[in-house]
Chain A
């Protein structure tokens, strides 16, 4: 069965600095998608970035980028120029071509002014 592991329950970063959140996953599939979602205290999950496994190029969305290492089954999120509004729970998620998402347990990110 597929699993997603986020080994950092909590991370802190100074405003304007860079932070990297870790995620590893286990699967025997070759075609799948990976996602990072942000869940602020208001609780609505917001898509941050997604990566298709068949693409070697790492996805980037403004200040957010990923380091996707398919062989190592690693999918880390880098947040550059951190802002106070980035404070939230961040969930890594895996999805096969169809069917359900599998989420990690989350990393709480604190941004220090």
Chain B
């Protein structure tokens, strides 16, 4: 069984740029959630996708957007990057045999905004 993978591992951008982060869900999972983890903090929920539809959103502005594809992989897009967007971005998938209540995380993408 393949785990959750994310790309790229690290990314450096400048203020005002746009970025796309990618996530491949674990085999058999149909739900993907994205989290932002600032240094020294717990992950903060950005949004969740279930079968290609947004299924819930946290307190993040509209410049954070996402997609889920028919194979249940997902993208997180951030427009007009700000310095405070520097963080570890985690993707988590769920929906396998244990149901939708346990999420399995990928290794994360470290985004630095200069």
A binding-site residues for B, Cβ under 8 Å: 4, 33, 35, 37, 42-47, 50, 91, 93, 95, 97-106
Contacts and interface: CB of A to CB of B under 8 A. Distances in A.
A37 B104 CA distance: 10
A106 B39 CA distance: 11
5 contacts: A44-B105, A44-B107, A98-B56, A103-B43, A104-B42
Contacts of B90: 45
Contacts, number: 55
A52 to B, nearest CB: 8
A37 B108 CA distance: 15
A91 B48 contact: no
Interface residues of B, number: 24
B107 A101 contact: no
A39 to B, nearest CB: 9
B56 A43 contact: no
Given A98-B100, A100-B48, A100-B56, A43 B42 contact: no
B45 A101 contact: yes
Interface string B19-42: 000000000000001010000111
B16 interface: no
Nearest to A97: B101
B77 interface: no
Contacts of A102: 45
Query: Which 3 pairs, one residue from A and one from B, show the smallest C-beta to C-beta distance?
Result: A103-B42, A45-B105, A100-B45
B66 interface: no
A42 to B, nearest CB: 7
Contacts of B55: 98-99
Contacts of B103: 101
A98 B56 CA distance: 10
